[in-house]
Structure 1
Amino acid sequence: MKFYNLKENSEQVSFAQAVKQGLGRNQGLFFPEQLPVFDDIPAMLALPLVERSVKVLKAFVSDDLDEQQLTEIVTNAFNFPAQTQPINEKNAVLELFHGPTLAFKDFGARFMAQCLQAFSGGEKITILTATSGDTGAAVAHAFHGLDNIEVVILYPKGKIALLQEKMFTTLGGNIKTLAIDGSFDDCQALVKQAFDDKELAKAIGLNSANSINISRLLAQICYYFEALAQLSRQKGAENLDNVVFSVPSGNFGNLTAGLLAKAMGLPIKRFVAATNANDTVPRYLAMGEWSPNETVATISNAMDVSNPNNWPRVEHLLKSGLVEQGCVSSASIDEEQTQSTVIQLSKLGYISEPHAAVAFKALEYSLADDEFGVFLGTAHPAKFKDVVESILGQPIGLPKELADCAGETILSSDMSAEFAELREFLLTNTDQ
């Protein structure tokens, strides 16, 4: 299968090239030329996660990976569960934080790392990525220690939780981290500038592990299938046509993956794109004008994104008819609502962190009587220990993954948001 550039459709590449290249010309996003549509969904939902995921992904990658290679990659990447947990009779949470860095991005980052190593051919690669929190840890741990791959992670200084920061800034080795004096959007802009600098990109073998990389998106499709598989066992396959997913949305890769799953035949009724005060998409869907404001810092900091990179893919899915336009709504949840929802969920017996709380509140606002809601739990609440404890007034324990890094020293360098400074760093600090 070929993948084409949404900005310049004439640029068509293989899956392997799309993974290695990251972005197309003119910063265009790659998109599959066609989507497999499955008519045997009940049988697929009865399969184990790895076997089902291989079937989901096979059509996209078969030109570059045979089934045995794909099975090995998926087995290594998805070696932890996604779990649905009931909240009440009307809602469940899909917990995606049971991987090594306690965040949903472990699925995509680990799959990408396995693919990229398979495709590298021994050539040196520099991964440059921006993070508003969880991407950094997932990418750092997925690529840590891999031969011939250097990783440089940019993040907004002082704007992510300390434990989040420590999960990716304490590894050292082939993982280098830069604390940028600016917002996540500034970090993202620096990554884009680096890709536009063809001389730099060639010199260091540049690639990105952000959710703009098609391999990460394809991996995330698989846990929507897993959620429906678990609900099928709990509710019966005949009761799946009323499921609504609420997706905490920052860069919108997670929503894109869900829409791709729906376009491939998964019987999801609709989606709610839940945002915090960074409400570009809710305003756009309401008024039809794309007008990003300056990014606002919130307690759901991984969603502090005003100009989401993946929105062109969402727009394409909606406007091309691959999914119906009315299947996506959006809501903005403010800080007071977020905090009160963390408390509300605690009273229901579920300890949540702010991002999942945003998704649950947005779901509450829109769920019809005949619908069943699933909101995505994208990170373990202990990654936001200080915030959650402050809201609930009670301590929460640290899982081993966080306890192990809590006392480690942060190895980051501070840097301005000037591209010239980043360019010099990349040329002198990546082992090419």
Structure 2
Amino acid sequence: MFSYLLSSLSSAFIALLKPVFGWVTFPQQILSDKHKRIADGDSGPQTFLHPVVQEFKIMIEEDPELYMGFHQMFEQIPDDPKYRVDPTGNPQIFDYKQMLGVLDTLLTRAPEFGDGEKGELIPVPFNAMLNWPMCTPAGFRVFTCDKVNTQIRKILNVWAEFLSSPDSRYVLTSDPMGWFGPDASRAMPNFIDTFECSPSKPYHGFSSWDDFFTRKFRPGTRPLANPTDQSIIANACESVAYKISYDVEARSPFWLKGETYSLYHMLNNDPLTSYFIGGTVYQAYLSALNYHRWHSPVDGTIVKVVHVPGTYCASSPLRSFESGSPDPGAPGFSQAFTTNLATRLLIFIRADNPDIGLMCFIAVGMVEVSSCEATVRTGGRVKKGEELGMFHFGGSTHCLVFRPETKITLSDEAQHCVARVSNRHS
């Protein structure tokens, strides 16, 4: 029998299976006057500031299937007042030209914190704009298209360049919508004592938005519990438990009710997948305010690091308008589904403890939160709690995958932040 400590890196643990997201909102008015005119039906010529957006426009308009799909995904949003606004309360865009206009503007915008008075949290602009289209049949078809995902990846790479530049620091202020403002300070108390920063310097010493978002804990802030006890597996991320599944199948219909895990799809048909058939998957979610670096759950050796290109905006058909339960935080309620399709990074680790053995950490990106960077390499040694990598511009969801020989039972002991692993299932 060995224990699985879920919060050696986390200040608080929410009860198992309670989904907490906090990524949807985007209270900023992101449309320039030019794009407002487009939204109002201006039929004048449409030009873009960045070639990558113009390239997207040409791709849509020259491919008849995509042209049809990008029209239909907006047309299929129900004609209901509650869907005339996006989940943040801003007017819903209703055609692909408006979408492209907003994308063009976003490439030089960094996320503001949000408006606490309205109960809003962290802006995820792509997500807010495309949330309802993601819940349509045409949206599912479009956002599972390899060609579209390749282009979205190009756009996100351009945005990542801006978010990694000094120009993106304009939101790192004490203004009401800034990340050191009153609302942000209440949401992230003790920030200065918790994270490495220089509050006496401009922007707290951060060189860019991305530098702020991938911030590190100050030494000793989150001490690792029982670091030498090989029977304890540390939590890989500061996260909230989402789901645990036992006896996971090699392949399953993951798009149907229950959102099962499908190992060969999750692990990209890797030859090591066979070791995990019949095993256990634990999944947990990182909210917008979490620390976004990953740490090794065990002492062991890095067997393999695999980056898997995938989807960015695909939401489960179970959370569509057709199903009657469209997801206002798409794809927040599709997290198990996204493990099979989304852009992700796999880190296989062979634990020193033979009772654990081979395991896999999966970092899964969702919407624009899809930049997964490993800081370990194949063949390297890691100690429990040492860094594995990070999400850039936040994080999404992650999984720990175990062999069937590793029998895991999570106990809901939120006050102690622990879950137990035993030799039997409860």
**Same fold (TM > 0.5):** no
The structure where helix makes up a greater share of residues is: 1
Q: What is the TM-score normalised by the length of structure 2?
A: 0.27
Higher Rg of the two aligned structures: 2
Q: What is the TM-score normalised by the length of structure 1?
A: 0.27
